[in-house]
Every structure is written in structure tokens, then in C-alpha cells.
Amino acid sequence: MRYLLAIWLGKIVRAVLLFLGRGGTTLPGLMMSRIDPNVLRNLSNNLKHGSVVVTGTNGKTSTARIISAILDRHGYVVISNRSGSNLERGLVASYLEYVDWQGRANLDVAVLEVDEADLINILGKVGCRELVVTNFFRDQLDRYGELITLRDIVKRSVSDMLAGSRVVLNADDPLVNSLASAVPEGVEVVYFGMKIKGEQKLNFAVDVNKCVQCGGDLKYSQVYLSHLGDYLCVSCGFTRPQLDLSLVRMEPKGILGAELEVESKKWGRQQLQTILPGFYNVYNVLAAVMAVDYFEVEIDLIADILQQVKPAFGRFEKILIAKKELYLMLSKNPSGFNELLRTILVSENPISLIFILNDNYADGRDVSWIWDVDFEKLAGRIGWIGLAGIRAWDMMLRIKYANIDIRRAGVEPDYQKLVEGVIQSEGSEPIFVMATYTGMLEFRAELQKRGLVTGFWED
């Protein structure tokens, strides 16, 4: 009876919130879980093929989005928490549009992005058939602690995987690779990664330079993104494993995506194309392709979908405003921020930027990470910079020390005036908005008021 009461209350609350123009992505789930603590497990019993769970610091939303699109085209009835609400309350709420008033639903599989720190509380409740781990980067140190602490939380979760399930790991990340030692007997482990030319040394702000097994020095023959690459511990021999799916060639197209050539044991060499911008999105594509292989999806179908999947809200989301292209990009840690900068700097034109820096709980209270972002690369490349958010003046100080001409920068705390400034700005070049999580939602809400975007829960 508790289960039914939870369903009824959740549906009513969700309907009211949608009527009021709110998303209903968390509150219904929170209330449902208080009525029935087992509601997520009961809802997941509707799944014929269990769930695919995606976790990691960066790329969860995009990876889950690609997997969902492919499995949907494959003929499955797919449920996903596409709004990005990745705590238990968000997962519960995501079921509401699929279940009837008796709590029943005809569902094949759930594709769920799950917060790394909450994974241990969720994995056993959702019938996890496949776990995908994207990467570990410094993010919200006040909440997660150091990287090794976060890795250990996920490691405990991995040790609870059931026989017959599968774990998909990013082999290029030594922290993610180290999870393999916790995988129980009877659980398959597969790896994805890159085999292309990268850098030969780590930069100063790298997150991992010591072996996670013995503490010895890691030597890299290739570095692709932060601490992701081809590595070897000179002390204990811990190294990147053999890849089940690898990127062997890439032709980046800047904000237009990339042409890829991948190689796998199953498909051989295949040509793929993605319209998702940025080097980091290539990792998301590899993770998704490796994940759907578990469901016997044909490579031609995968290739077709990859050319159609657009960025999720706030993840290089393209918005037309006053005949200008505005790109809204979630920027929440040094590694992700640096990759976004690398992507937009492909253009040789002067760059117009808006930085929104908040320190709310969902963003992380500690914003010292901005000093590890390579803003110096922007020197001499800026048309203008708008600064907003609670910690806008911290960002102003940071760009001053990056030798950026601060006469081209200004602080505007009012989002309405900020958007008006964008509309009235000269030129037709793209404008890039780089924001922490709550700043991204606040700025997007102003765009929604003007009818320029739909609600993020509708994405």
C-alpha cells in the first residue's frame, strides 16, 4: 500500500509542478521516497532488462543521452533521467511519466546517470545490468573530498555487482582502471580508450601523477586529457590494459563535432561521426558505443544515431538569440573547463565570452579551482567578456592575472540585463556562456522566460 500511496502522491505533485511551469524533477521523488523507502527498487522491478548505470565526474549526462538514443532506435522502451537529476530522488521522479496509477509500466531498460557519491546507495536498487564509469576529476572538493576518496566509494559499489553483469571502464584513466581489482567473479570487465597521438607530459594542474596501486611515479607515453592517457608505473608495473574499443583516428571539427575511426574486437575498424563538440565528448561517444555493444546493437545503427544526437541542455547547447549563436556550457572543474577552452579556441576569430561562477552547494563551495584553468590561453583572443554569478569578482581577479585585458570585461549580476547585453552586442560571431551548475540553470531560466529555450526537463 505504501508503494501505491507514493505513486499517487508523486503523480499529483508532478502534475501541479508542471502546471506551475516547474520541472518536477526532484520534489516528487523526494516525497515518494519518504512514504516508501523501497520505491526505487519497486519501480525498477518494471524493467525487463534491468538498467545501465553511468557514473563518473564528467560526461554522465551526454553518455547516458547517447546510450538512450541508440537503445530507443534499437527497439527498446527506454526510461532515463534525462533532466540530469542524478540523486535517488531524481531517479524516482523520472519513472512517473511511465508508470500508471497502479505503479505498473511496460519498460525494457533504464539508462540512468548516477551521482558518484550516491552510487553505493543506488546500484542495488535499480537492477544494474551494466555499469559505465567515465572518469574521475577534481570536482566539488568540499563535498567529495580528494579523488582517491571518491574512487574508493565507487570501488565499493563495483564490488557489489552481480554475476552476469558487466562493467565498462575508461582505461585511459588510471583511477577508473584501478576499479577492475574490485570486480567480483562472474562480472565481465571491458575497456575503452584512445590510440592516437597525444602530448608526452602532464600539465601543472593534472589530477593524478602517482600510481594508485603503490604510490610510485606514473610515466606517460601519451597524454590525452588531464591525467588520461597511456601510462605505466615504473615501480609496480600497473599499466593501461588492452582496449576492447579504441579510437585510432580523429579529425576534430571544433564546435561542429568530429570525424572518428574506431577499432574493436567485434566490429574491426569503423568510421563514425559525431556532432557533439569537444575532445571530451569523444570519450563519451566511446563509452556509449562500448555500453550498447552489450545489447547486440548493429554498428550501422550506432553510426546513424551518432550523427543525430545533439548536446544535452547546458552541454554545448546551441541557442539562437538575435541572429547570433549562443553556446551554453556547463563548466564545473579545471579539466572540463580547459577542454571547453581548447574547443572554442579552434576558431581564429575574437572570442566573446560570459563566465558565470557560483558557489552554491550544487556548484561546490570551494572555487579555488579556477586558478588551475588555463585562462592564459585567452590572452589576445578576447572580443569581450561578461562576468556574472555570486563569485563574479573572483573570476575578474583570475582573468586579470591571466594577462587578459580587463577593459574588455565587465560584471553584470542581473541576468535580465546580461541577456539584453547579448542581444544588443555587435557582431555575428558565436557567444560562449561558461557556467557552473546553478549559474547555468539561472541563465537558462532567463532565456526560457523569453521563449528562447524550453524547460530543461523537456530536453
Per-residue pLDDT of 310-327, as tens digits, reads 888 788 899 998 888 999
DSSP H/E element including 66? helix 60-73
> Which tens digits make up the pLDDT trace of 100-114?
998 888 999 999 999
In a domain, 151, yes or no: yes
DSSP H/E element including 20? none
Q: How far apart are CA 263 and CA 244, in angstroms?
A: 8
| Percent of the chain topping pLDDT 70 | 96
Asked whether residue 295 falls in the same domain as residue 338, the answer is no
In a domain, 14, yes or no: no
In this structure, what CATH number is given to the domain that contains residue 116? 3.40.1190.10
In a domain, 40, yes or no: no
Would you give the DSSP letter of residue 212? T
**For residue 361, pLDDT beyond 90:** no
Cβ pair 202, 220 in contact under 8 A:
yes
What's the Cα-to-Cα distance from 59 to each of 116, 133, 330, rounded to whole Å? 12, 10, 11
Q: How far apart are CA 185 and CA 163, in angstroms?
A: 7
pTM of the predicted structure, to 2 decimals? 0.87
3-state secondary structure at position 330? strand
Q: Among 258, 276, 306, where does a domain finish? A: 306
In a domain, 162, yes or no: yes
* pLDDT for res 440: 92
Asked whether residue 223 falls in the same domain as residue 347, the answer is no
* Structural domain for 69, as ranges: 49-81+111-306
Q: Among 254, 273, 306, where does a domain finish? A: 306
Asked whether residue 115 falls in the same domain as residue 261, the answer is yes
* Contacts of 433 by beta carbon, 8 Å cutoff, 6+ apart: 326, 327, 328, 329, 353, 354, 356, 440, 443
Asked whether residue 296 falls in the same domain as residue 319, the answer is no
Would you give the DSSP letter of residue 136? -
| Percent of the chain topping pLDDT 90 | 59
Number of domains present in the structure of the chain:
2
Asked whether residue 331 falls in the same domain as residue 428, the answer is yes
Asked whether residue 254 falls in the same domain as residue 320, the answer is no
Range 421-438 average pLDDT:
89
83 closest CA partner among 95, 70, 100, 101:
95
Asked whether residue 339 falls in the same domain as residue 378, the answer is yes
pLDDT band per the 50, 70, 90 thresholds, residue 139 = low
In a domain, 41, yes or no: no
DSSP H/E element including 381? none
Asked whether residue 144 falls in the same domain as residue 292, the answer is yes
In this structure, what CATH number is given to the domain that contains residue 445? 3.90.190.20
Asked whether residue 267 falls in the same domain as residue 349, the answer is no
Asked whether residue 345 falls in the same domain as residue 302, the answer is no
By CB atoms closer than 10 A (0-12, 13-18, 19+), residue 336 is buried
Asked whether residue 319 falls in the same domain as residue 293, the answer is no
Long-range contacts of the stretch 198-206 (C-beta < 8 A, 24+): 198/222, 198/223, 198/224, 198/229, 198/230, 199/223, 199/224, 199/229, 202/226, 202/227, 203/374, 204/372, 205/334, 205/338, 205/372, 205/373, 205/374
Range 437-458 average pLDDT:
84
Q: Among 273, 306, 339, where does a domain finish? A: 306
In a domain, 106, yes or no: no
Asked whether residue 271 falls in the same domain as residue 413, the answer is no
Mean pLDDT of the chain: 90
In a domain, 404, yes or no: yes
In a domain, 96, yes or no: no
Range 332-339 average pLDDT:
86
